[in-house]
Chains A and B, each alone.
Chain A
Amino acid sequence: MNQPVRRLAAVLLVAFAVLVLDVTYLQVIAGPDYRDDERNPRVIASRTGKERGLILSADEQVLAESIADPNDPQRFSRVYPEAELYAHLVGFSSLSFGEDGLERVFAGDLRSKRDLTVSDLLSALLGGDLRPKSIQLTVNHGLQQVASAALGRQRGSVVAIRPDTGEILAMVSSPSFDPNLLLGADALATRRVLLADPSEPLANRSTNRTYPPGSTFKVIVTAAAIESGTAGPETLLPDPLELELPGTIEVIRNFDRNTCGDGIEVSLQTAFRRSCNTIFGELGLQLGAEALTIEAEAFGFNQDTPFELPVLNSFFPQSSEFSNDLPALAQSAIGQRDVQATPFAMALVAAAVANDGIMMEPRLVSRIFDAEGAVLSENEPSLLQRAVSPSTADIISGLMERVVVSGTGTRATVPNVRVAGKTGTAETGVGPPHVWFIGFAPVEQPTIALAVLVESGGEAGENATGGSVAAPIAQEILAYWVLKNG
């Protein structure tokens, strides 16, 4: 009878061995995932009241800081002194809603490690620093303020980049929200109101909303034409009153429903300056789907762009999708139909043209430093991709300068500064158009490239164009920056 008893004992002891294996898996291997799960109440509790590092602008304006409780110096509350101005970049660290923006992406650096775990204590013994680290942005506070003021209460976005380094100089999304209100007692009610707001203040329009780029996309079509040798600035193109779309009764017209030039022939340069849809629709058909797709991708469409914040990809259809749909190809060449771009992506397009055709990797954080102020890591500029050859970039730059001198973008003119730009007025099918301006300055040695987008025509409504609404906003931003930086 001992045999079966021994077997029962063996089965139970094996069961206990399984428990040991499972508890080891649970606590050590799968453990960190459970420990750091956002739903773990310990994660939420551990963050409240802990000190976090500073977030500073490039010119050392404080964008986020932890302030000690006067009654309990071990307890801190998070404060965002600039409130709405940086809400979409800095984000927030809230007990109720977790972390967002750079507060989330750089949480590992910004959080204090002083939570008494054994591994942290060990690293402290080995000379590690448990205090929170701080981060400094590439964003210039003065420029951010100017950009936000220039956009005003209109819905839209401004993205400004330093072309030769990829540093983000300003990134504004409007309307915004006050992250401080998501930390306090009324956080739940505030969030409910923000979520229900039809103007979507929580959305980062700069990186997470795409819009039809409209005529700003002609920069890319022109690049394709020049790179392929199909046309140069002086090339004369036929100038019809309207472009008939192959196989349909639909037509493409110019904005003023007139011919682009004299009605016989017009140069590419003039067509670009006056943003003629008829000419660019036809040019798109001539270049063909494949050339357009390749050029759009060279400028970053359909690709993941490395960046500190999450970015929605900009979109240009694959060439195969046009094989039976030439009207769509013509419309895509003027930045309509299925073409979609974020303001961030269009700012990168302008920056690539400004930087001799080279697109630098965009970045928002310049350095991380410790509690003593010593720099721990510095974000060096790095090349992302070549969009066009230097000579093509130079030709496009010249074309864009003419847009501002005597074309659709004259209202971006900054006295005594050579400004290059391209306007866009994108039909949405419903309601007023989304209006754009992309450009850079000074042309001879660009220090800033930007994209301005105003949703649904902004305050001008139905009558809005890129030239009338977006160009003046760009003008204020470029004037401020060039005056400041020479």
Chain B
Amino acid sequence: MTRNAEAALLVGAAAVAAFGVALVNLARGDGLDAQVALTFVVMVAAFGGFHLAIRQWSPEASPYLLPLAAILTAIGFVEVYRLDRGLAALQRWWLLIAAVLAVSLLLAMRRTGLAPLRRYRYVFLLSGLLLLLLPLLPTDWALPLRGFEQNGSRLWIRFEAGPLRLQFQPGEIAKLVLATFLASYLSERQAILGVQLRPLGRYRLPEMRQLAPVMIAWAASFVVLIYQRDLGASLLLFALFIAMLYAATGRVVYLTSGGFLFGAGALAAWFSFSHVQRRVSAWLDPFADFEDTGYQIAQSLFAFGSGSLSGSGLGLGAPDRIPNAATDFIFAAIGEELGLAGSVAVIATYALLVAVGFGISLRSRDTFRKLLAGGLAFVLGLQSFLIIGGVMRLLPLTGITLPFMSYGGSSLVANFLLLALLARISHEERA
């Protein structure tokens, strides 16, 4: 596929967004207005700018990344617009900001490539941990940067200066930063971590220093879990650590010990936090406490059921009945209005995007790039799987965003940066 084909697909995605907005307007009886053109222009600007930056600074990058992300962004944006026009207007700004940041990242890497990411790994480790801890800043101190709590989880920081008020989930960026650190660290240590095993009867036990990184990962995620009380973010982080350790060493023991530690952590969380217990019981039987804890997931199931095969059509369903439809539950809104056709298309698109990411990893000859691409693809795939499975009641609900589709600046920025990294990795491997 050529760059020109990629450009054409991006324009197509922008057109999908614009047509979607037009359909929502018509369904609401509002007629066509500036929103349609504005959406088209912003989509073209964001993805067009990204595309041009790739042409300029990473010309050998995989041409599949942007079109897949663009169609997901387009569908997500239309559904956000359908649910809340105010949020959609903000989302357009976030889209532009995310594109500008992704372009800046490509620009910054144009000469040095990924080398600095690899070299300054402890800077990344520190900044990653710092980002994770930022939401624990006091809510009421003098500095304009404060942490705060939402829905029982403390994942947010808020920047307030005069009339300006910005909210951000630093954990979204922390994932990328920590993945970078791990790729760099593991690409150097993999030989040591992988081979030395001490026999113990039939089993072979890894050395203490081999297990140390796992324990650190577990401790870090557990800190996130305890202080921020968010199972989703901590699971995502922990799984990323374990998956990258496994990718670097091929040792299944990391997976089993990781699984065991996660089970223990989840059990402890269940015993300690009432909101975790509520989520588990709402998962087991949402209709047992329909009016309260089960309400949200039940509304999500109603939305999927009402969507059926072909959906109600954009703007014609009632996804606004689901609390948090524009963020965590965006996939349920899509299931209702676009039906099985739409929801399967979205899942398939995620699968393709994740496959492209893993493809980049598999084709990489350099260990660092291989691990980084694999880690990024894994975290993108796992996050999508967890939240889609959560809103469908396949898994207990975890409050995380659906990449590219949910409303939310932090999520959009983080995932655009993730795309830029994948693009750069694929460029360097081919160039």
Contact = CB atoms under 8 A, between A and B. Distances in A.
B190 interface: yes
Interface in A97-131: 116-118
Interface string B203-239: 0000000000000000000000000000000000000
Contacts of A27: 304-305, 307-309, 335, 339-340, 343
Interface string B332-355: 000100011001100110110011
Given A31-B305, A34-B305, A35-B306, A22 B247 contact: no
Nearest to B332: A26
Given A27-B309, A39-B290, A9 B304 contact: no
Contacts of B371: 1
Interface string B285-312: 0010010000000110110111111101
Interface string A1-27: 111111011001101111110111011
A430 interface: no
Nearest to B302: A40
A268 to B, nearest CB: 58
Given A27-B309, A45-B318, A116-B316, A4 B381 contact: no
Interface in A175-215: none
Among B367, B382, B394, the most chain A Cβ lie within 10 Å of the Cβ of B394
A15 B310 contact: no
B248 A24 contact: no
A28 interface: yes
Contact of A1 (B248, B313, B343): B248
A33 B305 CA distance: 7
A431 interface: no
B249 to A, nearest CB: 8
Nearest to B317: A42
A37 B306 CA distance: 10
B377 interface: yes
Contact of B243 (A8, A15, A30, A35): A8
A39 to B, nearest CB: 6
A15 B385 contact: yes
A117 B317 CA distance: 11
Given A32-B305, A41-B302, A19 B394 contact: yes
Contacts, number: 143
Interface string B356-374: 0010011000010011001
Contacts of B355: 9, 13
A41 B305 CA distance: 12
B305 A16 contact: no
Contact of B302 (A22, A42, A118): A42
Contacts of B385: 12, 15-16, 19
Nearest to B359: A9
B378 interface: yes
B148 interface: no
B392 interface: yes
B250 interface: yes
B305 A9 contact: no
Nearest to B389: A19
Contacts of B57: none
Among A8, A24, A31, A117, the most chain B Cβ lie within 10 Å of the Cβ of A8
Given A22-B392, A23-B392, A37-B305, A9 B377 contact: yes
B247 A8 contact: yes
A19 B392 contact: yes
A26 to B, nearest CB: 5
Query: Which size bracket describes the interface of A in this complex?
Result: 35 or more
B389 A35 contact: no
Nearest to B287: A39
Nearest to B384: A16
Contacts of A16: 347-348, 350-351, 354, 381, 385
Given A4-B247, A8-B243, A8-B246, A23 B348 contact: no
B321 interface: yes
B343 to A, nearest CB: 5
A20 B302 contact: no
Given A26-B305, A33-B305, A18 B246 contact: no
B340 A28 contact: yes
Interface in B141-156: none
A12 B306 contact: no
A168 B88 CA distance: 60
B53 interface: no
Among A5, A13, A22, the most chain B Cβ lie within 10 Å of the Cβ of A5
Given A4-B246, A9-B358, A31 B351 contact: no
B388 interface: yes
A222 B324 CA distance: 70
Interface in A22-71: 22-24, 26-28, 30-35, 37, 39-42, 45
A68 B367 CA distance: 72
A5 B321 CA distance: 41
B348 A20 contact: yes
A34 B340 contact: no
Contacts of A24: 340, 344
Interface in B375-407: 377-378, 381-382, 385, 388-389, 392, 394
A37 B243 CA distance: 41
Given A1-B190, A8-B358, A19-B392, A26 B301 contact: yes
Among B313, B367, B392, the most chain A Cβ lie within 10 Å of the Cβ of B392
Contacts of A40: 302, 305-306
**Lowest 8 A-B CB distances belong to which pairs?**
A34-B305, A9-B358, A12-B381, A16-B351, A40-B302, A31-B305, A35-B305, A27-B340
Interface of A: 1-6, 8-9, 12-13, 15-20, 22-24, 26-28, 30-35, 37, 39-42, 45, 116-118
26 contacts: A1-B371, A4-B249, A5-B247, A5-B370, A6-B362, A8-B246, A12-B381, A12-B382, A12-B385, A15-B389, A19-B394, A20-B344, A20-B348, A23-B344, A27-B308, A27-B343, A28-B308, A28-B309, A28-B340, A31-B304, A31-B307, A35-B306, A39-B298, A41-B299, A42-B302, A45-B318
